[in-house]
Amino acid sequence: MNSRPVSILLYLVVMWLIVQLAVNGAASMGYNWQWYRIPQYILAQTDNGIQPGELVTGLVRTVDLTVRSFLLAVALGLVVALLRLSSLVIGVAVATGFLEFIRNLPLLVLLYLIYYVCGPVFGLDRYTASIVCLAVYHSVLISEIFRAGILAVSAGQWEAAQSIGMSRAQSYCYIILPQSIRFVLPPLTGEAVHLIKSSAIVSVIAVAELTTMGRNIISDTFMSFEVWLTVAAIYLVMTLMLSIFVTRLERKFSVASR
């Protein structure tokens, strides 16, 4: 028996039940659906022609925030991983301390610390503080991914690199890290998806990204059902697209690096 059609059918039935439940629930509490008002928040018709609506502006902000923090997080994560694997006692101590400190704080508290404490001290605006917070938080997780990826390369590769006279830095650069990419890429993407999702938290310090925009619209219009469903759908589309892209990338990579 082919289980795929069965599971798809089951999925559709469950989803239909959930939607029915929501619609009936909304109807019984007398909710006034106003879906027709949503499109203007995606693409707005103004005097100057068609402009991106508030949700799209927020989406652009979210993407910008995510890309910047992700790049910073990858760089920072690599540094932390290399420090932890180094033979420098101080390097290992600093990296481990950083790791344990960040990993054991709630993301929200970290954001408050960076925005309300480091912000005034170092003069960070709310957008920079958000980028720093997300980058620092995810760099810790990414450093573990890098560490595992580096350790997955066999010790013989180090010995071979050293035996042709390479320094530690050269061995990392030309021999070890290129081979780690294969191990690192899948979990790193998972982390990118995770980062998109955790970027929503910066709405608490009123950075004008997707979640904040959604909340602002609701405070004007009271359409909480429609707006949150739309916002959730936008996040879902974004993360799913990323996942699909990476699956393709991975397949290409596994062929190229063999």
Q: Which residues bind other proteins (CB under 8 A)?
A: 154, 156-157, 159-167, 170, 174-175, 178-179, 257-258
Nearer to other proteins, 34 or 167 (CB): 167
DSSP classification of residue 35? G
Nearer to other proteins, 1 or 164 (CB): 164
Amino acid identity, position 59 = L
Of 136, 26, 20, 167, the closest CA to residue 70 belongs to: 136
Please report how close the Cβ of residue 241 comes to other proteins at its closest, in angstroms. 29
Cβ-contact 72, 139 below 8 angstroms: yes
Nearer to other proteins, 128 or 179 (CB): 179
Q: Which residues 6+ apart lie within 8 Å of 90 measured at CB?
A: none
Please report how close the Cβ of residue 251 comes to other proteins at its closest, in angstroms. 17
How many whole angstroms separate alpha carbon 214 and alpha carbon 203? 10
Amino acid identity, position 63 = V
Q: Is 1 strand, coil or helix? A: coil
Cβ-contact 137, 80 below 8 angstroms: no
Nearer to other proteins, 112 or 253 (CB): 253
Phi-psi region of 31 (alpha: psi -120 to 50; beta: other; left: phi over 0): beta
Nearer to other proteins, 52 or 186 (CB): 186
Please report how close the Cβ of residue 145 comes to other proteins at its closest, in angstroms. 19
Please report how close the Cβ of residue 247 comes to other proteins at its closest, in angstroms. 21
DSSP classification of residue 205? G
Please report how close the Cβ of residue 71 comes to other proteins at its closest, in angstroms. 24
